[in-house]
Chain A
Amino acid sequence: MTKPPPVDFGAGLNCPIPLTDYPSVLLAHGGGGRLTQQLIQKMFVSQFANEILEPLHDGAVFALDGANLAFSTDSYVVDPVFFPGGDIGALAVNGTVNDLAMCGARPVHLSAGFIIEEGLPMNDLWRIVVSMHNAAQEAGVRIVTGDTKVVEKGKGDRIFINTSGIGTILPGIKIHPRNARPGDKILVNGPIAVHGIAIMSVREGLGFDSAIESDTAPLNGIVATLLAAGEKVHVLRDPTRGGVASSLNEIAESSHVGILLTEESIPLTEEVRGACELLGLDPLYVANEGKFLAFVSPEGADDILARMREHPLGRNAAVIGEVTAGHPGTVLMKSRIGGTRVVDMLSGEQLPRIC
């Protein structure tokens, strides 16, 4: 038997995030903000690099045997498993359906992987599975393959679900985070920050009662009505972890453009505003599940806004800002009282494990 060659740690095997920076993974590395971005770039992209991964879209977009496809995956670890307005099952289906929709794709098939902690009541599992079935039916997708693992008590937290999905992209559709252009209007399909606050409101230790329900919903239906309007939509993004602020920063960076928001025009319910004031949170950084941002050509904005508002998931849609040629890579916001400030990407941890 020959000895294996000595490992050369000098040749690209050094950890790209030095021990001195972060000796271990922090919750903030999964928070959807700057640390998540660093982890993805330095660890994953550096090793997995390829032209399909590199745009870091909500899903991979590629051609296979003549068909244009989108492929996406996401894991769900939300705590609590059941929350006002939804549960981990509905979230797992809607989340991947939405990631595909944000690529301009029509979601078709999903997979479901379950990591279940020993001791989960069978009835809870059943509720989650029924909820997934209902969500899949509503979104018009099928769950066509799956996997089940059970881990010892204490080695998981009740249940984690991974879903992956594929969808088809119709010819002529070019949705891409690099496609934002100066002059584009930025639309959102309704009040933001609802999901994150719904989760917070039931978290242990917060102790406030709230009627705020998660907005989790499949967005492929409303997106299809927008895409039917031709090439007016340039970018789509569902601002989940890290909130609207982090998504807009990513797009501003990818497209090398500036973004100017108008604080007054951003839709917020009174309940969510109140909860944010109380908890000292900025709704721009709170997670969403049934919301998406659309970057639309200036001449197409009225039509797209009207189409959004016709759909049940877009009744309160609004134009919240526009793309500028100035200050590329930076998101600015005009405040209620007339001042202007930078809206940075989420830095550190705002809420643990929100989706």
Chain B
Amino acid sequence: MRFVDEYRDKDSAARFADLLQRITTRPWTIMEICGGQTHTIVKYGIESLLPPAITLVHGPGCPVCVTPLEMIDKAIAIASQPDVILTSFGDMLRVPGSQKDLLTVKAEMGNVRMVYSPLDALKIAQENPKKRVVFFGVGFETTAPANAMAVWQARRMGVKNFSLLCSHVLVPPAMEAILSSPSNHVQGFLAAGHVCAIMGYEEYIPLASRYAIPIVVTGFEPLDLLQGIAMTVKQLEEGRHEVENQYTRAVRQEGNVRARRLLQEVFTVSDRAWRGIGIIPSSGFELREEYAAFDAARVFEVGTIAAQESPLCIAGQILQGWKKPYDCSAFGHQCTPEHPLGAPMVSSEGSCAAYYHYRRRQGTPAATP
């Protein structure tokens, strides 16, 4: 398949593996930000192609994983009200709240629908004028423009029965939170390519210099990751700390200017709670005052919801790269994709789920390049 096979070529992968063997002289710890990257790394067995001195740790870039439990409970509370159709992406429906997940609400009440785009939710609202249609929008900067567009169109077209339950988070503040932690041991970042396709990478330049850390904007195919890792290691070995762009076929420094303009029109930056991590200042989007009528959090009165996380779950430490899924005593026993105790086991992009599906246990035969 064109534009896919080129980035999964075995011989090129072997060449990057050779290059990494040659240039790596010391141990380095590199964090890939995005859950999609974690997924590729584990699915293709990329770690087995790296020199043992390189450790990859998995970052907080799984939007489903970092959505607070209270938010899911709020979505469930809204979905349980009369004449509501709650819509979201498939992954979100499976995340357990304190009592149940949205799929269970769907089984009980039949008013939860999976959609592939927030614009589909807007269409449902137009087709069902007597229902209140809510799109539960989570995600990083990547999914934010489509959600902004749905709200923008709803306002322009006067679709008053549509609203957005918004739980958007931003990557650079989370990277800063990780870097400023006293227990941080991340020495290089693979920035999330798709986030940068929207936002560009200007924001990363001051981060790289303030924390003296190389940041390489990286794509999602196996060769993208191998090249991104090689570029990071090269900087580390040479003592440089710059922002570089591996994912040039999708990312420009200024990002997608039209999408950024739309985001600015609809959203404003706010403090945001991250599941397992806590509140990170200026790390999320919320709807601007002009769009309050489309903000499900303001339209629906669901009261304050306090939720209790499982005491066994170490999601916070996993999301910040301090621990790996194997280090969790519940991994694969009390906590499985059918019975997740924490979000990283639920979403297919979560690192616990990726480990569970593709590696199950430590010591699954390593690859032979």
Contact = CB atoms under 8 A, between A and B. Distances in A.
Q: Are A and B genuine complex partners?
A: yes
A341 B49 CA distance: 13
A326 B363 CA distance: 13
A274 B305 CA distance: 43
A336 B10 contact: yes
Contacts of A28: 103
A280 B45 CA distance: 19
A25 B107 CA distance: 7
Interface string B106-141: 011000000110001000000000000000000000
Interface string A311-330: 00000000000000011001
B364 A336 contact: no
B359 A341 contact: yes
Main SS at interface, chain A:
loop
Give the residue among A26, A28, A340 with the most B Cβ atoms within 10 A: A340
A25 B4 CA distance: 39
B108 A206 contact: no
Contact of A336 (B44, B104, B337): B44
A337 B360 contact: no
Contacts of A270: 1
A348 B43 contact: no
A330 B356 CA distance: 12
Contacts of A342: 357-360, 364
Given A35-B338, A335-B45, A340 B366 contact: yes
B8 interface: yes
Contact of B115 (A35, A205, A280, A344): A205
Contact of A339 (B1, B4, B49, B104): B49
Interface residues of A, number: 35
A27 B367 CA distance: 36
B369 A338 contact: yes
Contacts, number: 103
A34 B339 CA distance: 12
Nearest to B103: A26
A205 B107 contact: no
A305 interface: no
B337 A340 contact: no
B42 interface: yes
Contacts of A90: none
B365 interface: yes
Contacts of B53: none
A335 B46 CA distance: 10
A41 to B, nearest CB: 13
A351 to B, nearest CB: 10
B356 A344 contact: yes
B308 interface: no
A129 to B, nearest CB: 31
Contacts of B359: 341-342
Contacts of B366: 340
B368 interface: yes
B58 interface: no
Interface in A1-59: 21-28, 34-35, 38
Contacts of B339: 21
Interface in B53-100: 94, 100
Interface string B339-352: 10000000010000
B357 A339 contact: no
Contacts of A205: 115-116, 120
Contacts of B336: 347
A22 B14 CA distance: 46
Interface string A272-316: 011001001000000000000000000000000000000000000
A332 interface: yes
A330 B116 contact: no
A274 B1 contact: yes
A337 B357 contact: no
B48 interface: yes
Nearest 8 pairs of A and B residues by beta carbon: A339-B45, A341-B358, A337-B13, A339-B367, A347-B337, A335-B44, A338-B369, A342-B360
28 contacts: A23-B100, A24-B108, A26-B107, A34-B338, A35-B338, A38-B338, A206-B116, A273-B1, A280-B348, A330-B360, A334-B367, A335-B222, A336-B8, A336-B10, A338-B14, A338-B45, A338-B48, A339-B48, A341-B42, A341-B358, A342-B357, A342-B360, A342-B364, A344-B356, A344-B358, A347-B337, A348-B338, A349-B94
